[in-house]
Amino acid sequence: MQKKAQQGLAMSSEFFISTLSPTIPRLLQSLCQKVYEYGVQYGDTKAVDISQICDPKLYAPFCFDFHIPNADKSDAVDVFDEECELLEKARFLASEAIRLCTGHMISTLRTRSNQYNATYRLPNEVLSLIFQFIERSSANPLCPLRKRAPHNIAAVSRLWREVALNTPSLWTRIDVMPPWLTRVFLRRSKEEPLRIEVDANELDEPGSWASPWLAQDADEESGEGSEEEGEDVGTHEDGSNEEDVDNDVASDYSHPAPVQSRFSRFIELLKPTVHRWASMELHNASTAEVVQTLHFPLPRLEFLCMTRHAYELDTATYLRAIAPRLRDFHLVAVPISLASPIYAGLTSLRLEDDVFGASTIRQLFGALAACPDLESLTLINYRFDDPHSADTSNPSIPIILNRLQHLQLERVEGRLPKAILDSISVPSTVTLNANMEVISWAEAMVPMNVANAPRVRHMIITIRRTNGGASVYTIIGEASEEGPILLEIRYNPGRTALYNIDGHKPDILRHLGHGKAFSSLKSLTLSEQDSERHVDGPKFAEMLGNFPSLEKLALH
């Protein structure tokens, strides 16, 4: 039945070929010739009034001569009505024939033009590399984000679509997007490693796509979204059937997260592809959401960053997730306990803005011991639950960190740098930056175990007074004058003016260099940036005795 219908359509189309086939091309050729001649003589044809060209007087004879062939109706009104209907049908056929013919001609000409375009002749491998650098455009309000670029590219041309759909690496960046589009990216990325970035605030914004999604079944909504966008999520671009996402590991994580927040729902959507997660950035999700959602293994994850704009005290800080390939871990105002198993095998650890102390110093040492290949350690505004145990928490055997190259301790408690340096063994190539906030000069501990001290050839000591009357000491060690900075140690006053509370001048410099740590120091510059003297003579002389190789001394 269907075959007969198709044959009937083919025969009906052939019925008009003898009339339209020679007529339309001749009409277009003649019109194009006239348009060209008009443009040469007068300019753009947009100014032409088509109503003057189609003057009714020119077609009056044709109107009177027009009639239906073999009309057998006796009623003249019926004949005229039938003629009007016939003209409308003929006008539609002529209009469609012109549209299709010109469309095909334009497409053919553009294809021929592209063949002379250098971009068109580029190998697909080169095009795919170029597509990697596509950025967002202010002229594209529908898909403004850089991560939507592959979706835009696939709509440019057949060639670009083919290249985009056959370049899985273009589809590996996943951020907050509607479920139907998420599935498109997951499917087209094949088995490539995924780079995920989720901002929980975008999920919670009024009018967010997540609102209707959470109001109904996710599968139902995602299906509707696919239809709206003209995307068949059940079929490959090549016509083959395909699942929405990879489900070969879904059975491994059958238990849901305890809290189904919008953040948790989005992560659940991505979880079947967890074996492909290579990097993940989570912004503005609470610690409780993270802890309760990421409760499953992350076998391929190498980079993990969690940030919040403001610290929130959470009772649940133990992260159960295990990430054996995780190398770079960065937390900002997200207090994940240092006792969590995720602190293992890292090469870079950066912890910021834990102001209430979710972990202990002993747990820090445990985490460092689990990361023997650590290359960078950064603590910024990081507090511990037991700050006064810094002197008693040191491990009996120093932790070997032979690959550590950068140690930054910024706005930390005064005892912490000494406790850390006394507990680890690091190479002399390490760079040290320690900025301590002390509330008493008794806490201004001078680190003794400074591994790179023998490399310091030039030292600058600066002393200045704050508006509150307390002194700020800065010690900078360089490989040479104007050379690279190897260490920077700064003692900053806390909320209380130290000088006024202690009632005596600080005794920091007296112990600097004990044990001949700076045995290679050649030049020393001391700068006091106010009129009052902060260093007395005997203590300064005692400090100089710790520098046996000193050749040059400058006082400012």
pLDDT in tens, 262-292: 899 999 999 999 999 999 999 999 998 999 9
Which secondary-structure segment (H or E) carries 278?
A: strand 277-283
Would the pLDDT of 216 be above 50?
Answer: no
pLDDT reported for residue 135: 58
Percent of the chain with pLDDT over 70: 72
* Predicted pLDDT of residue 259: 46
In this predicted model, which residue has the larger pLDDT, 249 or 415?
Answer: 415
Closest CA to 80 of 93, 67, 69, 62: 67
Q: Residues 383-404: what's their mean pLDDT?
A: 80
Q: What is the mean pLDDT of residues 213-229?
A: 43
Report residue 255's pLDDT band, with 50, 70 and 90 as the boundaries: very low
Residue 254: pLDDT above 60? Answer: no
- Model confidence band, residue 146 (pLDDT cutoffs 50, 70, 90): low
Average pLDDT, the chain: 78
CA–CA distance, 191 with 95 (Å, rounded to integer) = 48
At 154-195, the pLDDT tens digits run 877 777 888 888 889 889 989 888 888 899 999 999 999 999
Name which residue leads in pLDDT, 478 or 150: 478
pLDDT tens digits for range 82-141: 888 888 888 888 888 889 889 888 988 888 887 777 767 777 778 777 777 665 555 544
pLDDT reported for residue 514: 73
The Cα–Cα gap between 530 and 470 comes to: 12
More confident residue, 149 or 476: 476
First to last CA, the chain: 103
The structure's pTM equals: 0.71
> What is residue 347's three-state secondary structure?
coil
* 256 within 8 A of 294, measured Cβ to Cβ: no
Is residue 174 within 8 Å of residue 182, measured between CB atoms?
A: yes
d(CA 211, CA 221): 11
pLDDT value, residue 245: 37
Structure token digits, residue 514: 């004990």
Nearest to 87 by CA among 112, 68, 72: 68
Q: How far apart are CA 192 and CA 169, in angstroms?
A: 6
Architecture of domain 438-556: 2-Layer Sandwich (3.30)
Sign of the dihedral defined by the CA atoms of residues 28, 31, 37, 42, in that order = negative
Q: How far apart are CA 182 and CA 173, in angstroms?
A: 10
Would you list the domain boundaries of the chain? 14-47+82-121, 438-556
Condensed to tens digits (0 to 9), the pLDDT of residues 45-79 reads 776 777 666 666 666 666 666 666 665 666 777 77
CA distance 65 to 101: 29
The tokens describing 197, both together, are: 């970035």
Question: Count H helices, E strands: the chain?
Answer: 17, 16
Radius of gyration of the chain (CA): 38
Cβ neighbour number for residue 129 with a 10 Å cutoff = 13
Note the pLDDT of residue 487. Answer: 93
Find where tokens 């003589």 sit: 41
The predicted pLDDT at position 389 comes to: 63
Closest to 522 measured CA to CA, from 491, 499, 554: 554
**Would you state the pLDDT for residue 28?**
87
**How many whole angstroms separate alpha carbon 114 and alpha carbon 108?**
10
Across 325-332, average pLDDT: 97
Number of Cβ within 10 Å of residue 427's Cβ equals 12
Taking 90 as the threshold, does the pLDDT of residue 446 lie above it? no
Task: State residue 304's pLDDT score.
Answer: 98
Residue 40 has pLDDT above 60, yes or no: yes
In this structure, are residues 253 and 168 in contact, taking their beta carbons and an 8 Å threshold? no
Distance CA 446, CA 414 (A): 9
Q: Bigger pLDDT: 246 or 489?
A: 489
CA distance 520 to 548: 8
Q: Which two tokens mark 332?
A: 């900002």
Segment 337-377, tens digit of pLDDT:
999 999 999 999 999 998 777 788 999 999 999 999 999 99
